[in-house]
Amino acid sequence: MRLLAATAAVTALALTASGCVTVHGELALVPPATEAEAAQALADFTDAFNRADKAHDPALDADRVTGPLGEINQAGLRARAVTSPGGNAKHRPLELTDARFLLPRKAGWPRWFVADTDSNRDVDQGDKDRRWLLVFVRNGPQEQWKATYLNVLGVTEVPEFAKEEGYAVPVAADTDALAVAPGKLGTEYVAYLKDGKPGPFAAGPHTSGWREQREQSARRPGLATQYVDRITDRGAFAPLGLRTRDGGALVFFATRYFERQTAAPGYRPKVPKDVKALMTGEVKSTVTREWVSSQAVLVKPAGTARDGVTVTGRLQGVVGAVGS
């Protein structure tokens, strides 16, 4: 967690340069960027991330992050600016190498792509190697590329992606070709975490294991813990997915949840200093943490009634807290 704690053009020439071409009054399917442009976006993000991490200054990478990753990153930096105001004495520059870019063609804005990279934050050990998958989004030709999703997957968890004419294939939020449409994943995940009823999500550390962990926390003597999950799927939090060669898809989506801890009479919940740095109010008996959670899931083709969605990665961070 600490690695995170982190328009339109007006002339035909401008339209062509931005990759947006009008054909018979409709927007043609075009790639979001060239390989070189995608590589530059990744380099710009990495440079900004390192400067912000070294100084514990969220302003230094605020224009390179957005969505769930941006909210987690910015909250973490704000907290560490309070707990370690002199900067990060243990800063080690993040290096993202061996980048493979997945560039889905689409019409109009926003446009996006995925950078599948190796990181210096883990040790390469064959099948235990990890890959950083960063999703970049851009809302117009005059705007900068910003990283909106990050998930860290095992090298064997990264699927083989479908290609059309050499380009990745995006999946629509409302597609009926998948076991669960990307636009419904947030709703299904929130419902599952609430009631645990069998459905599209396969058992694993981020589904059945996550529910068990919550139940154990709720039973701690002298401390009652409640969880409330919320759907978060608008704007920069919109789900994004790529078709895989098996007919399924890899989809990124986000949720938000609140963790409320209430201590027994005469006691107060313990609040870590990084959470306290983000907190408003005073803890008398209760503290409520607000979390943003980002998931990467493999979704099987339509017709799979059970275990059609496997959560392969989850990245979360506290973005606010309230004491009462």
- β-strand pairing of 146-154 with 130-138: antiparallel
The alpha carbons of the chain give a radius of gyration, in whole angstroms, of 21
- The overall pTM is greater than 0.85: yes
Q: Taking the chain, what is the end-to-end CA distance rounded to the nearest angstrom?
A: 26
Give the pLDDT score at 125: 60
Residue 127's pLDDT band (boundaries 50, 70, 90)? low
Containing 215, the helix (H) or strand (E) segment is helix 208-218
Residue 126's pLDDT band (boundaries 50, 70, 90)? low
Structure tokens at 42: 């990744």
To the nearest 10 degrees (0 to 180), the angle between helices 185-195 and 208-218 is 40
Cα–Cα distance for residue pair 64/282, rounded to 1 Å: 33
CB-CB contact of 161 with 102 (8 Å): yes
pLDDT digits (tens, 9 = 90+) for 38-63: 999 999 999 999 999 999 999 999 99
For tokens 């068990």, the residue is 212
| For residues 275-303, average pLDDT | 96
Cα–Cα distance for residue pair 284/296, rounded to 1 Å: 37
Structure tokens at 100: 């493979």
- β-strand pairing of 309-323 with 279-281: parallel
Q: Which amino acid is at 184?
A: K
| For residues 155-183, average pLDDT | 96
Residue 25 reports pLDDT greater than 50 = no
Q: Does residue 234 sit in helix, strand or coil?
A: coil
| For residues 222-244, average pLDDT | 96
For residue 75, count other CB atoms closer than 10 A to its CB.
25
| For residues 239-263, average pLDDT | 97
Task: Give Cα separations from 281 to 128, 195, 284 (angstroms).
Answer: 43, 31, 9
CB-CB contact of 274 with 83 (8 Å): yes
CB-CB contact of 310 with 287 (8 Å): no
CA within 13 Å, CB half, 119: 21
Give the pLDDT score at 4: 42
Percent of the chain topping pLDDT 90: 83
CB-CB contact of 269 with 222 (8 Å): no
Chain CA centroid to CA 216, Å: 26
Residue 259's Cβ-count burial label (10 Å; 0-12, 13-18, 19+) is middle
Residue 102 reports pLDDT greater than 90 = yes
Name which of 25-34, 135-144, 199-208, 257-266 the model is least confident about: 25-34
- Strand pairing partners for 80? none
Residue 128 reports pLDDT greater than 80 = no
Structure tokens at 208: 């059945």
Q: Which amino acid is at 191?
A: A
